[in-house]
Amino acid sequence: MRAVFGIDVSKASSEVAVFVNQKKIHAYTMPNDAVGFSRLLDDLNSVQKPEIIFEATGVYSRRLQAFLEDHNFAYTRLNPLEAKKQLDGLRVRKTDKIDAEKLAQSQFLLNRKPTHVSEEVYQNLRDLSRFYQNLTDDIVRAKNRLHKVLQVTFPELEGILSSPKGDQYWELVTAFPSSYFVLDLSTRELADIIRKSTSKRISDQRVAELTEKLISLAKQSYCAVKKDSPMLEQARYYAQELLRLSDCRQAALDEMKSLAEFLPEYDILLSIPGIAETTATSIIGELGDIRRFKTANQLNAFIGIDLRHYESGDYLAKEHITKRGNPYARKILFRCIYNIISASRTNPCHIADFYEKRKKQSQATSTKPHVIASMHRLIRTIHYLITHNKLYDYNIAKNR
């Protein structure tokens, strides 16, 4: 007897269709909570080796997935695009109930394999990686808003340090959102505030230089608003928010490192020139256990940089990447290539050599195709090193 459970997961409830030997036994709607999962558990326990099929719906399917893993049930989680392609030919109408039935019916034809369940550490790293990316986006947004406000209140302050970012700069913005607050204080008071603006040790000479520069910038500035303007509080708010977000992001990164450093692939990734701790932990967080991919091409498809090929008669379309995989992983690896190229000046890497070779051979002005091609090579390298448990060796890699 072969029992298949097709489950269409929505936000608050799910449609369940149960088929035994290709015959529908019953169907019902269950809430996505302990009560609904308790009923599903009774049904799953009433048959031997149930096959469970559902479509990944982001955060909504996480509770169902956790429930099945807690009770040691194997399941098949389908990518939404994959599910659409498989089911479009089987349905004329589309409803949640019909989708659940078609998921179950198609399993008898397609015999999908169970989804690989990784260790909990990979899921935790993935959650932290997404949190880290969201915090980075929030920091960029807050920086842009602070920049706009300072253009009205004290634009010259952006030149006080080598770059308008970092904890010390944001502390200075909090203390001096406009030139009014600089000119109202004595040189000694300004020096004390500057000294307290950083947790790092700072020399008296450096404090004196920054104090003199701050006074000079304040004298040059012309504030577009009055001293009691709400825009001054806005500048303080964004500066303090940047300090808070920066601390949160560093805490998330520290936790990612503490989880990843015990995994064998962590040291392997760090051995590749240009990949530092932040990138290594993010790659593991987004790709999970890379050993589950039998080939590097499967990893390419998961990330979404496999090529789309279209040919009809004499027409051959220009090839583009599919972009159907993990967008976060693509972004991390895309930036990783530039880090590898930059590091190659002192620490050679065959991927940087490949990029420079492609760049010299091509007449195209855009470097994006070369970066994508280098990403393919990087993925093959990462897959080989991790599946064979080897550290990167430039002398070996450059001859492959």
pLDDT for res 358: 86
CATH 1.10.287.4070 is held by the domain 123-253: yes
The mean pLDDT of 3-7, rounded to a whole number, is: 95
* pLDDT at residue 359 is higher than 90: no
* pLDDT at residue 302 is higher than 70: yes
* pLDDT at residue 316 is higher than 50: no
pLDDT for res 310: 44
* Domains 3-110 and 123-253 belong to one CATH topology: no
* pLDDT at residue 311 is higher than 50: no
The mean pLDDT of 138-151, rounded to a whole number, is: 97
The mean pLDDT of 26-46, rounded to a whole number, is: 95
φ/ψ region of 221 (left if φ > 0, alpha if ψ in -120 to 50, else beta) reads: beta
Reported as a pLDDT band with limits 50, 70 and 90, residue 315 is: very low
Report the share of the chain in percent with pLDDT over 70: 93
What does the pLDDT look like over 270-282, one tens digit per residue? Answer: 999 999 999 999 9
This prediction's pTM? 0.84
What does the pLDDT look like over 323-335, one tens digit per residue? Answer: 677 888 989 999 9
Which tokens hold the place of 34?
């302990």
Reported as a pLDDT band with limits 50, 70 and 90, residue 90 is: low
* pLDDT at residue 112 is higher than 50: yes
291 in Cβ contact with 387 (< 8 Å): yes
Domain boundaries 3-110, corresponding CATH code: 3.30.420.10
Rounded CA gap, 115 and 113, in Å? 6
Q: In what order do the strands lie in the sheet with 23-31?
A: 23-31, 13-20, 3-9, 51-55, 76-78
More confident call, 370 vs 362: 370
Least confident of 5-9, 251-255, 305-309, 346-350: 305-309
What does the pLDDT look like over 158-196, one tens digit per residue? Answer: 999 999 999 999 999 999 999 999 999 999 999 999 999
Going from N- to C-terminal start, the domains of the chain cover 3-110, 123-253, 264-397
What does the pLDDT look like over 214-228, one tens digit per residue? Answer: 999 999 999 999 999
More confident call, 77 vs 94: 77
The mean pLDDT of 362-387, rounded to a whole number, is: 87
Least confident of 88-92, 244-248, 333-337, 372-376: 88-92
What does the pLDDT look like over 48-87, one tens digit per residue? Answer: 999 999 998 888 999 999 999 999 999 999 887 777 777 7
pLDDT for res 313: 52
The mean pLDDT of 370-392, rounded to a whole number, is: 93
What does the pLDDT look like over 193-214, one tens digit per residue? Answer: 999 999 889 999 999 999 999 9
φ/ψ region of 21 (left if φ > 0, alpha if ψ in -120 to 50, else beta) reads: left
CA distances from 43 to 26, 36, 309, 349 (A): 10, 11, 45, 55
Q: At what angle do helices 350-361 and 368-387 cross, to 10 degrees?
A: 150
Question: Which amino acid type is present at position 297?
Answer: N
pLDDT for res 322: 62
Backbone angles phi, psi at 269, to 5 degrees: -65, -40
pLDDT for res 272: 96
| Cβ contacts of 376 within 8 Å, gap of 6 or more | 300, 305
HSE of 255, CA atoms in CB hemisphere, 13 A: 18
